[in-house]
């Protein structure tokens, strides 16, 4: 099995004649057979980064390399990358079935059997024209294609846009099954962090165009804690630690910290719990906004 590496080096992207810096010196690698969560607020630069990786957009400086080769205008490298985004890349008036046939003709090894299974699971009417589909079913059509193309790197930008709870559940279940059957790399950008908390192996977080977190999910979870109890006891216990956020309710307080716990006894009445990934991301966003 080849071990592909998608590497983003010293990447910058400016808009509006160079006055607005959307991405600022991005350095990050996406490795084979992992599921990455790409998180950040609207406008943080996630979609821009994904579009540059897929060569839909171009950096002001820096480069995107796949196994050491620049992906720009590189058909061989780009054939290994698939980007599902919120823009409608497919003919608006074409029937879904015909669009599926077109994509099949573009990709040798496209999984038709999985496509047919997913069409039934999602109850997608393939006789419908793309522009007649609801927002959710437009997402479903794109999801089906993304799971069936034979690419090593699949980037999903808000894949569950417009999906109800039932169809989101199908998507996550089928994603895991597909990944288990044919390991490859998924990079998922979503605001519904709690739904992919247990799926992701690694976390990359962008805020104001910069990467502020890039680590394995297990490592992050091992050093992110929420400490709650009477405010005075919590303050005393977390003093000197890396506090990324606090919440107060009357005389009680929750302190969110990153790093090692202090080597001292936990005060009676104070609870220490592992922090949920969504809570961690939100607190890091808030702290970055305050910097």
Which is more confident, 20 or 172?
172
Whether 212 and 241 map to the same domain: the answer is no
Q: Name the token pair of 36.
A: 């990455």
**Share above pLDDT 70 across residues of the chain, in percent, rounded to a whole number:** 96
pLDDT at 1: 43
Is residue 61 classed as helix, strand or coil in its secondary structure?
A: strand
Q: Are 260 and 272 within 8 A, CB to CB?
A: no
Cβ-Cβ contacts under 8 Å for 60 (sequence gap 6 or more): 12, 13, 14, 18
State the average pLDDT over residues 169-190.
Answer: 96
Three-class DSSP category at 50: helix
Q: What is the largest CA-CA distance in the chain?
A: 66
Q: Which of 191, 217, 243 represents a domain boundary (last residue)? A: 217
Q: What is the mean pLDDT of residues 169-198?
A: 94
Residues 165 and 194 placed together within one structural domain of the fold: yes
Where among 190, 217, 244 does a domain terminate?
Answer: 217
Are both 206 and 146 inside the same structural domain?
yes
pLDDT of residue 3: 63
- Rounded to an integer, what distance in angstroms lies between the CA atom of residue 35 and that of residue 38? 10
Report how many domains make up the chain. 2
| Least confidently predicted of 29-43, 79-93, 121-135, 215-229 | 79-93
Query: Tokens 């099954």 sit at which residue?
Result: 177
* pLDDT given for residue 90 in this prediction: 79
Q: What is the pLDDT of residues 73-95, one digit of tens each?
A: 999 999 999 999 877 777 888 99
The helix/strand/coil state of 214 is strand
* 124 shares its domain with 204: yes
* pLDDT for 242: 92
Same domain, 131 and 195: yes
Look at residue 28 in the predicted model and tell me its pLDDT.
97
Average pLDDT of 1-5?
Answer: 66
Clarify whether residues 109 and 228 are in a common domain. no
**Predicted confidence (pLDDT) per residue in 100-122, tens digit:** 999 999 999 999 999 999 999 99
Domain match, 210 and 98 both: yes
155-163 average pLDDT score: 95
Query: Angle at the Cα of 224 (from 222 to 227), degrees rounded to 5?
Result: 125
Query: Which residue range forms the structural domain that includes residue 241?
Result: 223-290
Residue 154 shares a structural domain with residue 241: no
Lowest average pLDDT, out of 1-15, 22-36, 115-129, goes to 1-15
On whether both 45 and 104 belong to a single domain, the answer is yes
- 84 and 149 Cβ atoms separated by less than 8 Å: no
Same domain, 207 and 136: yes
224-239 pLDDT tens trace? 999 999 999 999 999 9
The Cα–Cα gap between 146 and 204 comes to 21
pLDDT at 41: 86
Does the pLDDT value for residue 267 go beyond 80? yes
* Same domain as 72, residue 41: yes
Instruction: Please say if the pLDDT value at position 290 is more than 60.
Output: no
Pair 175, 237 in one domain: no
Q: Of the residues 170, 186, 217, which one is the last residue of a structural domain?
A: 217
Residue 17 pLDDT > 70, yes or no? Answer: no
Mean pLDDT value across the chain? 92
213: CB partners within 8 A, 6+ apart: 39, 203, 204, 205, 220, 284
């Amino acid at each position: 099995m080849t071990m592909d590496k998608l590497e983003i080096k010293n990447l910058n992207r400016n808009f509006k004649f160079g006055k607005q810096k959307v991405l600022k010196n991005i350095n990050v690698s996406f490795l084979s057979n992992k599921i990455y969560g790409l998180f950040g607020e609207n406008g943080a630069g996630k979609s821009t980064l994904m579009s540059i990786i897929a060569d839909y957009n171009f950096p002001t400086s820096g480069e995107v390399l796949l196994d050491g080769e620049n992906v720009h205008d590189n058909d061989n490298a780009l054939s290994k990358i698939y980007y599902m985004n919120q823009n409608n890349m497919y003919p608006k008036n074409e029937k879904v079935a015909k669009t599926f046939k077109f994509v099949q003709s573009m990709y040798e090894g496209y999984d038709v059997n999985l496509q047919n299974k997913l069409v039934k699971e999602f109850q997608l009417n393939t006789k419908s024209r793309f522009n007649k589909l609801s927002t959710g079913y437009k997402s479903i059509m794109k999801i089906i294609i993304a799971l069936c193309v034979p690419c090593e790197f699949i980037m999903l930008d808000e894949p569950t846009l417009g999906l109800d709870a039932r169809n989101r559940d199908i998507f996550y279940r089928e994603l895991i099954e597909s990944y288990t059957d044919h390991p490859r790399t998924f990079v998922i950008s979503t605001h519904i962090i709690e739904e992919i908390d247990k799926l992701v192996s690694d976390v990359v977080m962008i805020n104001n165009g910069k990467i502020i977190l890039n680590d394995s999910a297990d490592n992050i979870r091992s050093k992110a804690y929420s400490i709650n109890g009477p405010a005075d006891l919590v303050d005393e216990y977390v003093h000197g630690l890396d506090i990324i956020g606090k919440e107060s309710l009357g005389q009680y307080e929750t302190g969110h910290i990153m790093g090692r716990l202090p080597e001292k006894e936990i005060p009676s009445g104070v609870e220490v719990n592992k922090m949920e990934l969504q809570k961690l991301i939100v607190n890091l966003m808030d702290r970055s906004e305050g910097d």
